[in-house]
């Protein structure tokens, strides 16, 4: 008796996943877990070198195959693998390999893991820079945090990265959106068809054990990969504006800052006499989060949703953040801590939560409720699988209806193909 072979998936990663270093790495592992639960045959490939803290995919039964940019060796590899689904991790991988996948595996479902909209994050970064250049006031950012979707669109629309990223989204059959706010932006402003987008937030298993109590915790905490520009900016705002205000009210308070890839400019901020401790990478981020009384995420720009904030909810740690940190994370649910707009408000709410057990316990309970209503792996994992299998079944219709994507593939992939072939030929004959 012949048994049908398992669905074959190829993931093309911008980097090898590092779930303990970034939310993007964590989300990729959650997606892979959803595939593994189906018994799917998974291969993970990347042109990147190994990072400092990579996941051991081989131990999970996932093949790891390095690939090269601008090399026809990928054509042979993907033809022999013959995947049913190809998932591009970030739009740059779709640009590099999408035309090769289409040429050699035309029947494969092409899926883009957007992580977050880089064009949105970049536009917000530029807006913050303009605000800081116009005023040396490091306190009040209310106007920065309040743009309408149309204003966001107008900031992004003329940029090269937006044109590249939105084109990649159109060219794919399914796009995984970690933020429902970004889905709304794409649908309303960029006119992306709704059926091309699938909401797939961070996905977690609910904690089994009760979190540590108020009395068992001490100190403030900030955590985030230093290679991610919003995290570095948050540390600077903590250092220059927020932390001095907290120390005025709590002279012995300590802030512990953790992050992968800590640069010298960050370690230079370490100052124990000010209670400002730069701790480098956390071997176990959930352990340090569980020991802290307050998680601080003073993000002045960014996109997507925030892994450190979800980790705080998992650990029962209240979070003080900004509208940028809270965006797309709680819908109409109460925020498990405080959402603030100025440095002074941030400091005041952080101190109040730190000192008030009743407020703190209410916030802890709200975080648990939010986890259960919005982030369960048991809900979103099967929904993702169902979306992909349904799209595979209706692939011809999806592509026929997405004429814009077909047109973009026709033009962009031809130019990308010829450029890649030229680079490959040049690499073979450098003289």
The predicted-structure confidence for 369-383, as pLDDT tens digits, reads as follows 999 999 999 999 999
β-pair partners for 10: 43, 86
What is the Cα–Cα distance from 320 to 325, expressed in whole angstroms? Answer: 9
What is the Cα–Cα distance from 81 to 78, expressed in whole angstroms? Answer: 5
- Given this model, what pLDDT does residue 1 score? 45
What the block records as the tokens of 125 is 């970064």
DSSP category for residue 66: E
Backbone angles phi, psi at 367, to 5 degrees: -65, -40
Residue with tokens 């940019």: 69
E-assigned strands of 21-122? Answer: 41-46, 63-66, 85-89, 109-113
Please report which residue ranges of 176-228 form alpha helices under DSSP H: 180-188
Sign, Cα dihedral of 55, 58, 60, 66: positive
% of the chain exceeding 90 in pLDDT: 82
Do 365 and 313 touch, CB atoms closer than 8 A? no
Domain range summary for the chain, segments of one domain joined by +: 8-119+148-203+378-428, 214-375
Smallest Cα–Cα separation from 312: which of 222, 214, 177? 222
What the block records as the tokens of 314 is 């998992």
With vertex at residue 260, the alpha carbon angle to CA 283 and CA 56, rounded to the nearest 5 degrees, is 60
- Given this model, what pLDDT does residue 20 score? 77
Backbone angles phi, psi at 310, to 5 degrees: -65, -40
CATH node for 214-375:
3.40.50.2000
E-assigned strands of 184-269? Answer: 197-199, 220-223, 255-258
Give the global pTM.
Answer: 0.92
- Given this model, what pLDDT does residue 431 score? 60
Query: Alpha-carbon Rg of the chain, whole angstroms?
Result: 23
- Given this model, what pLDDT does residue 139 score? 86
CATH topology agreement for domains 8-119+148-203+378-428 and 214-375: yes
What is the Cα–Cα distance from 355 to 378, expressed in whole angstroms? Answer: 36
E-assigned strands of 250-298? Answer: 255-258, 276-280, 294-297
- Given this model, what pLDDT does residue 422 score? 63
What is the Cα–Cα distance from 391 to 403, expressed in whole angstroms? Answer: 16
Phi-psi region of 94 (alpha: psi -120 to 50; beta: other; left: phi over 0): alpha
β-pair partners for 297: 321
- Given this model, what pLDDT does residue 255 score? 98
The residues, ordered by sequence, that sit 6+ positions from 395 with a Cβ below 8 Å of its Cβ are 107, 109, 173
- In this prediction, the residues of the chain whose per-residue pLDDT falls under 50 are 1
- Architecture of the domain spanning 8-119+148-203+378-428: 3-Layer(aba) Sandwich (3.40)
């Amino acid at each position: 008796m012949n048994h049908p072979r398992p669905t074959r998936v190829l993931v093309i990663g911008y980097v090898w996943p590092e779930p303990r270093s970034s939310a993007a790495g964590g989300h990729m592992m959650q997606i892979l877990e959803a595939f593994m639960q189906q018994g799917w045959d998974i291969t993970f490939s990347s042109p990147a070198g190994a990072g400092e803290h990579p996941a051991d995919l081989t131990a999970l039964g996932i093949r790891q195959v390095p690939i090269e940019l601008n090399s026809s060796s990928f054509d042979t590899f993907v033809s022999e693998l013959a995947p049913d689904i190809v998932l591009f991790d970030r739009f740059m991988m779709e640009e590099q390999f999408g035309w090769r996948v289409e040429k050699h595996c035309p029947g494969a479902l092409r899926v883009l893991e957007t992580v977050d909209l880089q064009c949105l994050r970049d536009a917000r970064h530029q807006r913050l820079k303009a605000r800081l250049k116009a005023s040396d006031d490091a306190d009040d950012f209310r106007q920065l945090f309040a743009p309408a979707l149309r204003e966001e669109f107008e900031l992004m629309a003329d940029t090269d990265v937006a044109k590249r990223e939105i084109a990649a989204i159109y060219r794919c059959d399914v796009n995984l959106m970690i933020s429902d706010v970004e889905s709304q932006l794409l649908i309303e402003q960029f006119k992306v068809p709704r059926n091309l987008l699938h909401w797939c937030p961070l996905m977690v298993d609910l904690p089994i054990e009760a979190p540590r109590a108020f009395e068992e915790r001490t100190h403030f905490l900030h955590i985030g990969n230093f290679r991610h520009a919003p995290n570095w900016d948050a540390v600077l705002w903590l250092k220059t504006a927020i932390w001095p205000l907290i120390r005025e009210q709590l002279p012995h308070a300590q802030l512990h800052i953790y992050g992968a890839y800590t640069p010298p400019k960050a370690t230079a901020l370490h100052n124990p006499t000010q209670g400002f401790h730069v701790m480098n990478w956390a071997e176990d981020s959930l352990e340090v989060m569980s020991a802290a009384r307050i998680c601080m995420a003073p993000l002045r720009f960014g996109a997507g949703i925030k892994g450190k904030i979800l980790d705080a909810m998992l650990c029962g740690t209240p979070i003080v953040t900004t509208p940028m940190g809270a965006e797309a994370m709680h819908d109409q649910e109460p925020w498990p801590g405080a959402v603030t707009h100025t440095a002074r408000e941030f400091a005041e709410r952080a101190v109040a939560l730190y000192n008030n057990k009743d407020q703190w316990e209410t916030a802890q309970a709200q975080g648990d409720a939010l986890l259960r209503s919005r982030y369960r792996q048991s809900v979103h994992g099967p929904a993702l699988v169902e979306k992909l299998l349904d799209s595979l079944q209706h692939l011809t219709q999806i592509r026929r209806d997405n004429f814009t994507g077909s047109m973009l593939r026709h033009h962009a992939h031809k130019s990308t193909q010829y450029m890649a072939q030229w680079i490959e030929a040049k690499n073979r004959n450098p003289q």
